[in-house]
Amino acid sequence: MNILKEKLKNHEPLAGAHVILTDPCISEIVSNLDYDFIWIDTEHSAIDYRTLEMHLMAVRAGGTPAVVRVPWNDPILVKRVLEQGPDGIVFPVINTAEEARQAMESCLYPPEGKRGFGPIRAVKYGLEDMDGYIRTGHKELCRLIQIESKEGVRNLDEILCNPYIDGVIIGACDLSGSIGILNQVFDERNLKLIDEAVQTAGRHQVPIGISTGSTDPETLKFWYDRGLTILSSGMDYSYILSGARQTLDTIRTVFGSSPCA
């Protein structure tokens, strides 16, 4: 059973962490916390297939579900990721129902889809039942799409007619760029599009959330109160920076308060 998929079906609020650095130790450390999922990013990082395999092993050791964002909606890229056995996959920049159909087909074996057959790590190198995986295992994958443009928002009603989509993630920064105001995430024009997407997802009873670099409590509450119940927040490098900065501030405070200073 895919725990993450069950949580999505139950519309539970979900907390995710982004991993973008190449060292698998990062994934191992974060996966030992109580996140609902770890988002391993191969779109905006130097993580290659070999490194990804190490990240997935590290996350599995920690017991946290792992989702992988692929660089593009390309069945060749998707196939190589799926053979490594992630719990979920994230497709960036889905703009049309046809693109969504292609994305879902790349995750599913015939007759539901067009995924090429060759699971390796996904069936524990042959230790798990291959026929069982063919019948149902591939359907257990969490399939998430990102809406990152005005076009995607406008087409979301048609996109979500696809029954294989488990959730929607808003890419708020790229969404703002699609209307000519890149990185002005809180501009009312951008927020209006996000609200439209939330309403559309609600009509289809599909969970919706946001991928954000922010870890600010007020910002995260802002998104949650707006109906975005999947919060994938911060980056691994920002976690390191935050902890290092806090430690440095503590040391400087000690220096300043010491009678030897």
Q: Is residue 248 part of a domain?
A: no
Report yes or no on 115 lying in a domain: yes
Q: How many domains does the chain have?
A: 1
Question: What local confidence, expressed as pLDDT, does residue 120 receive?
Answer: 84
**Residue 44 annotated to the active site:** yes
Return the exposure string of 77-109: e unless at least 16 CB atoms fall within 10 Å of the residue's CB, then b.
ebbebbbbbbbbbbbbbbbebebbebbbbbbbb
The whole-number pLDDT of residue 137 equals 87
Q: Which position among 44, 55, 138, 204 bears the catalytic label? A: 44
For 210-234, how does the pLDDT look when each residue is reduced to its tens digit (9 = 90+)? 999 999 999 999 999 999 999 999 9
Report yes or no on 181 lying in a domain. Answer: yes
Assess if residue 243 is contained within a domain.
no
Residues 6+ apart with CB under 8 A from 255: 261
Domain with 28 in it: 1-234
Q: Which CATH number fits the domain that encloses residue 45?
A: 3.20.20.60
Residue 257 included in any domain = no
Does residue 242 sit within a domain? no
Low-confidence residues of the chain: pLDDT under 70: 258-261
Candidates 46, 67, 72, 98; CA nearest to 211 is 67
Per the domain annotation, does 29 fall within a domain?
A: yes
Residue 134 is predicted with a pLDDT of 87
Structural domain contains residue 21: yes
pTM above the 0.85 mark?
yes
